[in-house]
Structure 1
């Protein structure tokens, strides 16, 4: 059972999300809160798996709440669900290591699928957000410093930036998912990051891959 907490300052939206998720086997909404401080308090006092987090909330906003919860409870998967797709906010939140970033126009089935994906460690980005990340790579000059990454690791990193899952990477490169996972562990260690989202962001910032 995936235990979910909803953090949003709009009661009608919280109710709508709860109704959607209540019909899904294997998902349980354990609590709803209306601001970032409420989300922090729930994380400190209850055990759950996934936090659906809005960003623009009164008092402690979602960004600050993400920062605190990621620091104190890194085992909780934070799935941002917001209307804010500004470049600054996208990069600011993804750099905190959240599990995914979805816009509120997402369809219900995609939301449900994304909650399941949080636990498997797959990157979850709305198409608009993925476009912003890839837009940062338009005509880049590859960095001469590759942090010791092998050619194969750079190939895998390129697919990570594109949002591919381990299975999709394995199929594209004709290697097993286990081999992909082993390479990812090496990539994370060399780039000094904790997960694939942070690896993708660092690859973009340092222009380690060329998608042209």
Structure 2
């Protein structure tokens, strides 16, 4: 059972999300909160798996709450659900290592699929956010030594930036999913990041990976 908490300051939106999710097998909405502090308090007292988090909330906003929850409860998958797709906000949030970033115009099926993927450990980005990520090639200085990444690691990192799952990468490169995970662990260590979203962000911003 995937236990979900909804954090949004609009009661009607919370109710709509709950109604969508309560009909899905294997998903349980354990609580709804109206601000970031409520999300933090809930994480501290009730075990759950996925947090649907709005960013623009009164009091403690979503970004501030993400920082606390990521630090204290790294196993909770945070899925941002917002109307804010500004470049600054996107990169602020992705650098925290959230599990996903969706806009509120997402269709219900895509939202449900995203929750399941976050629970399974897969990163989720809406198409518009992915475009921003791939378009941010602002650093004019390419890394001189590729951070010590091997040719195979560079190859795998390219697929990570494209949004491929471990399974898809393994099938494409004819290696096992376990081997992909081992390479990713090495990549994260060399890039000094914690997860694949941060790795993709750093790879693009430093021009380590450039996609046409």
Does the TM-score normalized on the shorter chain lie above 0.5? yes
Aligned residues: 212
Gaps of 5+ in 1: none
Please state how far the C-alpha of 1:206 moved relative to its aligned partner.
1.9
Match of 2:5, SS state, is strand
Match of 1:190 in 2: 190
Please state how far the C-alpha of 1:210 moved relative to its aligned partner.
2.2
Q: Provide the alpha-carbon RMSD of the alignment.
A: 1.5
**1:173 matches 2:173:** yes
TM-score (norm 1): 0.96
Please state how far the C-alpha of 1:138 moved relative to its aligned partner.
8.7
Contact 1:52 1:80 in 2 (8 A): yes
Contact 1:6 1:52 in 2 (8 A): yes
CA distance in 2, matches of 1:20, 1:34: 18
Contact 2:141 2:206 in 1 (8 A): no
- 1:27-60 Cα offsets, whole Å, 9 max, x none, are 0000000001111110111100000000000111
Match of 1:161 in 2: 161
Gaps of 5+ in 2: none
Match of 1:119 in 2: 119
Please state how far the C-alpha of 1:123 moved relative to its aligned partner.
1.4
Contact 2:18 2:29 in 1 (8 A): yes
- 1:61-99 Cα offsets, whole Å, 9 max, x none, are 000000111011111110000000000000000100100
TM-score (norm 2): 0.96
Contact 1:143 1:208 in 2 (8 A): yes
Match of 2:148, SS state, is coil
Contact 1:142 1:210 in 2 (8 A): no
- 1:87-134 Cα offsets, whole Å, 9 max, x none, are 000000010010000000101111111111112221100000000011
